[in-house]
Amino acid sequence: MNKNSIIYLTLIGLIGLLFSCEKDETKVVMLTNPIAPTIQTVPDLTLKRAKGMDTLVFVGTAVDPGFQASATYFLEICPKGNNFKDATVLTSGIKNTQMKITVSDLNGILLKKFPADQVSAVDLRMRAVLSVDAGTGALGTSANPLEYSSEIKTVNVTTYGLPRLDLVGSGINQKIESALGNGKYTGLVKLDKTKPFTLKDPDTNVVYGANGAALAVNGTGIISSDNGWYKFVADTKALTYSLDAYMIGLVGSATPNGWDSPDQKMDYDAATGTWKITINLVDGDIKFRLNDGWAWNLGGTANSLTVDGSNLTVTAGNYTIVLTITNPNSVKGEVGGNCKITKN
């Protein structure tokens, strides 16, 4: 075969390859009017303590932008007619067709916004956030996400009040509650190690205290190991209790201690179920983490904080930051909360 023949056959091969690549290329084209997600089925929201461990399932459909897309979905609620100006996230995640939550968890969330043992009219919606790229700041990136919301569904919800134990002697008015009314109480409490406290049942006037590491009727004052927030669990039937540090803090190059501990501790608001801090920051990054460690931390975007997510970037200034933890048991990659970062 002569040299010219070889060149000719090579050109034919290259042309064929080019046409093959063009044919096999997949182009992503977004619809002019992407199809918003929908809420198809809403369970009965007459909540009852006896069914606290039952799972409620909200069934919806995915957002359709015209191509196969991943999205984070938020099931949100607000008082009827509020137009979601102060929406509460009931649950969130990547899975959209079935969003699940237990009766007791839902009741606990709703009690922060709606009165107990009453019927309240509420609006529901499914909100989808698309983030198709990162780092450029363009439309559809994590810095400028695309959002689509379902039509609003108006339904009635009925919450139930919770049995409680009041902390007496802790220095502030606070309580722990029993989501199932079964003698097991839990809650986040702020403790001072210099202030021993007891637990009083306001319905029976029975007072519980410590008996060594156990709980006892008319026992001695319970003492925390340090100052700060704790997850407090008490069982008045088994007469047991536990106190585990639960301190959410702000960490990062923008904070006074940088990436080193101790973190800048946030305060918990039991009425709203949010963590809050007002702080001076410098140019840099921030994240949220538990107990000054990396075993559980949140990052990503303000609307979608995921476990082990990326850093959030801020500029210098005084900020008020409000964090809502929507899934304290989330694991790496899962949505665990959202936040509002407001420059004062």
Model confidence over 40-66: pLDDT tens digits? 999 999 999 989 999 999 999 999 888
Contact 119, 155 (CB under 8 A): no
Sign of the CA dihedral running 57, 59, 65, 67:
positive
157 vs 60: CA distance, rounded Å: 19
Same domain? 123 vs 45: yes
- Computed over every residue of the chain, the mean pLDDT equals 88
pLDDT at 10: 38
Residues 190 and 264 reside in one and the same domain: no
DSSP for residue 66: S
Q: φ, ψ for residue 167 (rounded to 5)?
A: -85, 115
Q: Is 50 exposed, middle or buried (0-12, 13-18, 19+ CB in 10 A)?
A: exposed
Whether the link from the prior residue into 262 is cis, omega within 30° of 0, is: yes
Q: Choose among 235, 283, 228, 278: nearest CA to 258.
A: 283
Query: Does the residue 23 lie in any domain?
Result: no
Domain assignment present for residue 318? The answer is yes
pLDDT tens profile 216-275: 999 999 999 999 999 999 999 999 999 999 999 999 999 999 999 999 999 999 888 999
Residues 238 and 253 in one domain: no
Q: Mean pLDDT throughout 137-161?
A: 80
Number of other CB atoms surrounding residue 330 within 10 Å: 20
- Residue 14: Cβ within 10 Å count: 10
End of a domain among 158, 182, 215?
158
The pLDDT of residue 244 = 97
- The b-or-e profile of 97-114 (16+ CB within 10 A means b, else e) is eebebebbbbbbbbbebb
Q: How many domains does the chain have?
A: 3
* pLDDT, tens digit (0-9, with 9 covering 90-100), for 62-78: 998 887 777 889 999 99
- The pLDDT score that the predictor gives to residue 96 is 67
Q: What is the CATH number of the domain that holds 300?
A: 2.60.40.3620
User: Is 61 within the bounds of a domain?
Assistant: yes
For position 31, what pLDDT does the model report? Answer: 78
Q: Is the pLDDT score of 119 beyond 90?
A: yes
Establish if 303 belongs to a structural domain: yes
> How far is residue 255's CA from residue 53's CA, in Å, rounded to a whole number?
40
**pLDDT at residue 7 tops 60:** no
3-state secondary structure (DSSP) of residue 70: coil
Domain encompassing residue 320:
248-343
d(CA 336, CA 297): 9
CA torsion through residues 223, 228, 233, 234, sign = positive
Q: Final residue of a domain: which of 158, 175, 198?
A: 158
**289 falls within a domain:** yes
If asked whether residues 195 and 124 sit together in one domain, one would say no
Coil, strand or helix: which one is 187? Answer: strand
Region 148-158: what's the mean pLDDT? 96
> In this structure, which long-range contacts are made by residues 129-136, counting pairs with CB atoms below 8 Å and at least 24 apart in sequence?
129/71, 129/72, 129/73, 129/74, 129/303, 129/304, 130/63, 130/65, 130/69, 130/70, 130/71, 131/71, 131/72, 131/301, 131/304, 132/69
First to last CA, the chain: 79
Domain match, 152 and 44 both: yes
